[in-house]
Amino acid sequence: MSVGSTCSAMPENRWLSIKGVLRATRMGAIQWLVLSAALLVLAITLGTGYLALQFRERALEMSERELNNTALLLSRHFDQQLSDLQHVHDDIVSYLQAGQVDTADQFEKTMSLLSAHEMLRTRLAALPHVGGLNVFNAKGWLINSSEMWPVPDINIADRRYYQEFTSGRPTSPVIVEPAMSKVTGNWTTIFARRITGRNGEIIGFASRGVEPSHFEDFVASLALNGDTVISMIHRDGTIIARYPQDASVVGRNVIDQPLFRKVLSLGGNTSGRFAGTSGEENVGAVRSLSHFPILILATTRTSTALEDWRAQTKLQFCAAVLAVLIVVVTIFLIVRQLQRQHEAARRRLSEKSQHLDTAINTMTQGLLLFDASGRLVICNQQYIEMFGISPEIARPGCHLRELILHRQATGSFVGDVDDYCARFTSPDNAEVQDMVIATPDGRNIRLIYKRSPDGGWATTLEDVTEGRRAQARIEYLAHYDALTNLPNRMLFQRHAEGLLLEPAAREFAILYIDIDEFKRINDTLGHLVGDEFLRSVAEKLRRSVGPNDFIARLGGDEFAIVQHDIASDDDVNGLVARIYQSLRAAFDCHGHRLSGDASIGIAIAPRHGADLFGLLKCADLAMYAAKAAGRRTYRFFDPAMEAQANLRRELEADLRTALAEGGFELHYQPLVDLRSDEVTGCEALLRWRHPVRGMISPAEFVPVAEETGLIEDIGQWVLRTACIEAAAWPAHVRVAVNVSPVQFKSETLSLKVASALAESGLDARRLELEITEAVLIADDDAALVTLGQLRALGVHIALDDFGTGYSSLQYLQRFPFDKIKIDRSFVKEVTRNSGSASIIRAVVSIAADRNMITTAEGVETDQQRDTVQMLGCTQMQGYLFSRPVPAPDLRTLLAADSVEDAA
């Protein structure tokens, strides 16, 4: 038997029980499916019936709502029309009363005239849909009518409204009475009103009639359902009109019917369902007129209201039958598919068991699975190999104690076996445990323990030795410099902060070390040599410090040292001496013999500050003071350094203000041809007149402008201003403008020069740009490209301060200069030092061979002038001819020179 099958195979009886469980699960699933299908069919049936009933009720409610709206519409319509008739009636009565007809005789006499008939007919012509207006005398005899003339003998003494008006009892001003018309012989709704005299006695009556045909014609125009019946009923129960027309119904009284009494009890406004005269159920709605004792009744048969519902119900039942068929067929297909899947699952189960065994034995972690009694269920191959366990021991059924005793015997476990086993088998240990254990052979094993609900537990074990080593390496790199293996800035700051927090800490020193000339080594010899140089410097510093001192690399060529427990500044001086002695000793670096030097700034704690930020600032200021002193030296922090730094920051702020507000000005110093004594050019010199400090030397503010980058904007202003000024000079006079090394690094310098020339209109041949050797030292190739671009514009190039560098002759060979300006230091000594004269003669000779102009700077005496002229210089510049002067003074000087030349 293989190791994998030994550790992870299940007993045969367990395999058989799993098959039984699968079979029982399949049968249970089929039974649940059939039961679910039966419940679904029952739900569909009940749901369809319920929905049908709901839809039936909704159809009846909708029909009832439509009938109610119809009755409401008709009631409002006829209420409005009858109100209009009442207004006409009131107007006629008012007209009669206005004629000062006070007695019955006067009334009868007035209304018996033909003119009264014409008046009535004219006033009722606007209401053609209403019956005529009849006027009766106090005894009930017809005396006039809007419909006929002469009038027949008709008496209304038998009418109910006449009897009520003459009874002496209080009555309504208008009485509505349905009756057979004595004029037309048709059933009519009569609207009667009494006419009284000035003293309130009855002098006559006026009535008008509305026949059922008017009601029926209007209802017919509504296009109602064919089974809808609309009736107009007087509150005394008499049916006034009906649509569709039914002469047998009009005039019938229904006051004794319970349904009509119920409607009257509800105020005449109601709707609902009720049984008709034929016993069939109807749906109806009743609405009463607001101003008249008339009810509008709208009814329809229930069977008619349910016609659409019956059609929808048929469709619903057909859909329900179809859904039931679909459910039955679907369940049948699912059951058959389950039976097929069961057979396939039974075949795949054995395959999955083998796959599971393979997966368990090929996983990277060791796996142990124990039951509630602490006996082994699964043990994979990785665990066996991890601890060198015998496969015969790690078999299913093996107790945890036996397994650990075996590991103890083979040397992969050290400790108390019983305590170890009790920790895992205890039922109280229910929490997930994640721990790292160490093995006797030095490995780190991560163990994750988790108990299952049945009381057993699972344990995974993973060898994390390499991972922990990698993590330790990452943590090391986070706090140490990878190149020199020294602590980095973060660890340095943490160490210094720890010293500051110690309650009884003694004084300690912070040394900021900047390696001098490292960039030159890196640029000339390459980064490989530069990295090796830094490693050697780090080793030299490490050997120079004391056993308790702390050294770190802050980045680049900067290092820092914390010197502990200093008794006086002599201790610091001693350390600095050892550092310089070690650095300045030559050593081999990839075949190159090199030595180092440094600028060191020193701050003492707590003398110079009680917080780390302040101490680092002080040490940094001291280091920059050492650089300013010429490098290769050290300085202790002095408060004056901070004052000087503040002054520099103020100077920078003032520079920005001067640039924004136009605080700079240009002075110009002439350049004179030594043969003709004619002014051939002028050098533009920047001047700054500070509003508080007065005139500030360029040597003081130009370096600040270069370090802060302000020189770019200042230089552009100088170039533009000088070109504009020179455009007004005589055509043979050039203007010379100094270009800073910072400006020369800009790739757009040639574009800026072209822009200044275009703006000023100055001929490019009259512009001369002066550069120093510092421009060329930085990047020869880039400088050559920029010089070529400027020469293409037609601009002249002059090499300023020639002789102050160490490779000037080489530059004369490589770069296309038009002029060489010999530094004033040579001119100053030319009359006393033969060496200076020899150098000037050599430079003039080289310049003459290359067609270059030579200008002697700083000529202050006639003897100096004669000497440099004898040595071959072309031009001179200095106080002998003129100091630098403002532009207006220069224009006066040039004008005088032109007059002198003309003379």
Mind listing the pLDDT tens digit for each residue in 193-216?
A: 888 777 778 888 888 777 777 777
Average pLDDT on 808-817 reads 69
Per-residue tokens: 149? 């003339």
Q: Is residue 155 pLDDT above 90, yes or no?
A: no
List Cβ neighbours of 276 (8 Å cut-off, separation of 6 or more): 282, 299, 301
Q: 398-440 pLDDT, tens per residue?
A: 888 888 888 888 888 888 888 888 777 777 776 777 788 788 8
Is residue 11 very low, low, confident or very high in pLDDT (cuts 50, 70, 90)? very low
Mean pLDDT of 47-73: 82
Burial of 298 (0-12, 13-18, 19+ CB in 10 A): buried
Residue 796's nearest CA partner among 660, 688, 681 is 681
Pick from 462, 459, 473: nearest CA to 439: 462
Half-sphere CA count of 866, side-chain side, radius 13 A = 4
What pLDDT does 438 receive?
80
Angle at 43 between CA 39 and CA 48, to 5 degrees: 155
Residue 20 — very low, low, confident or very high, per pLDDT cuts 50/70/90? Answer: low
Q: What is the pLDDT of residue 263?
A: 73
861 or 454, higher pLDDT = 861
Task: With beta carbons less than 8 A apart as the criterion, state whether 475 and 542 touch.
Answer: no
Place of tokens 């609902």: 272
φ and ψ of 328, to 5 deg: -65, -45
421: phi then psi, degrees, rounded to nearest 5: -70, -40
% residues pLDDT > 90 (the chain): 20
| Cβ(176)–Cβ(157) below 8 Å | no
Around Cβ 35, how many Cβ atoms within 10 Å? Answer: 10
Q: What does the pLDDT read at residue 778?
A: 54
Per residue in 865-875, pLDDT tens? 999 999 999 99
pLDDT at 15 over 70: no
pLDDT digit string, tens, across residues 331-382: 888 888 887 887 777 777 766 667 666 767 667 778 888 888 888 888 888 8
For the chain, how far is it from start to end, CA to CA, in angstroms? Answer: 126
**pLDDT class of 64 with cuts at 50, 70, 90:** confident
Task: Find tokens 């001291």 and name the residue.
Answer: 622
Residue 264 pLDDT greater than 90, yes or no: no
At 267, the pLDDT band (50, 70, 90 cuts) reads low
Helix, strand or coil, per DSSP, at residue 672: strand
**pLDDT band at residue 239 under the 50/70/90 scheme:** confident
Share of the chain above pLDDT 70, in %: 87
pLDDT tens per residue, range 636-667: 988 888 778 788 888 888 889 888 888 899 99
Task: Kindly report, residue by residue over 681-713, the tens digit of the pLDDT.
Answer: 999 999 999 888 888 888 888 888 888 888 899
CB atoms within 10 A of CB 7: 26
Q: What does the pLDDT read at residue 129?
A: 56
* 363-469 and 650-892 share one fold: no
CA dist., res. 753 & res. 667, Å (int)? 20
Distances (CA, A) of 863 to 8, 474, 821, 830, 866: 111, 73, 19, 9, 5
Confidence of residue 89 (pLDDT cuts 50, 70, 90): low
For residue 9, is pLDDT > 50?
Answer: no
pLDDT at position 18 over 70: no
Which class is 363-469 in CATH?
alpha beta
Beta-strand pair 187-196/202-210: antiparallel
Residue whose C-alpha is closest to residue 286's, from 300, 272, 275? 272
- Domain locations along the chain: 99-210, 363-469, 480-637, 650-892
| Model confidence band, residue 728 (pLDDT cutoffs 50, 70, 90) | very high
Strands (E), 318-392: 366-370, 376-379
Q: Is the pLDDT of residue 807 over 60?
A: no
pLDDT of residue 181: 76
Say if residues 234 and 189 touch (Cβ distance below 8 Å). yes
| Helical (H) or strand (E) element with 608 | none
State the pLDDT confidence band at 278, using cuts at 50, 70 and 90.
low
Superfamily holding 480-637: Reverse transcriptase/Diguanylate cyclase domain (3.30.70.270)
Check residue 679 and give its pLDDT.
93
Work out whether strand 239-243 and strand 294-301 pair parallel, antiparallel, or are unpaired.
Answer: unpaired
pLDDT at residue 5, rounded to an integer: 39
Check pLDDT > 90 for residue 180. Answer: no
Q: What is the mean pLDDT of residues 844-857?
A: 89
Please tell me the predicted confidence (pLDDT) of residue 410: 83
Note the CATH number of domain 99-210: 3.30.450.20
Lowest-confidence region among 447-461, 581-595, 715-729: 447-461
- Among the ranges given (153-167, 195-209, 237-251), the one the predictor scored with the smallest mean pLDDT: 237-251
**Of the candidates 305, 288, 311, which has an alpha carbon nearest to the alpha carbon of residue 228?**
305
CATH of 650-892, one of 3.20.20.450, 3.40.1440.10, 3.30.428.10, 3.20.20.70: 3.20.20.450
DSSP state of 456: -
Determine the average pLDDT of the residues in 491-503: 87
* In the predicted structure, residue 13 carries a pLDDT above the cut 60: no
Q: Which helix (H) or strand (E) holds 821?
A: strand 819-822
Average predicted confidence (pLDDT) for the chain: 81
* pLDDT range class, residue 161, cuts 50, 70, 90: confident
- The pTM of the full predicted model, rounded to 2 decimals, is 0.45
Segment 522-574, tens digit of pLDDT: 878 888 999 999 999 999 999 999 888 999 999 889 999 999 988 888 999 99
- State residue 131's pLDDT score: 63
Contact partners, residue 361, CB within 8 Å, separation at least 6: 3, 4, 7, 8, 380, 381, 382
Check pLDDT > 50 for residue 69.
yes
Both tokens of residue 218? 């209007």
Dihedral sign for Cα atoms in the order 13, 15, 17, 23? negative
Asked if residue 487 lies in contact with residue 480, where contact means CB atoms within 8 angstroms, the answer is yes
What's residue 276's pLDDT? 62
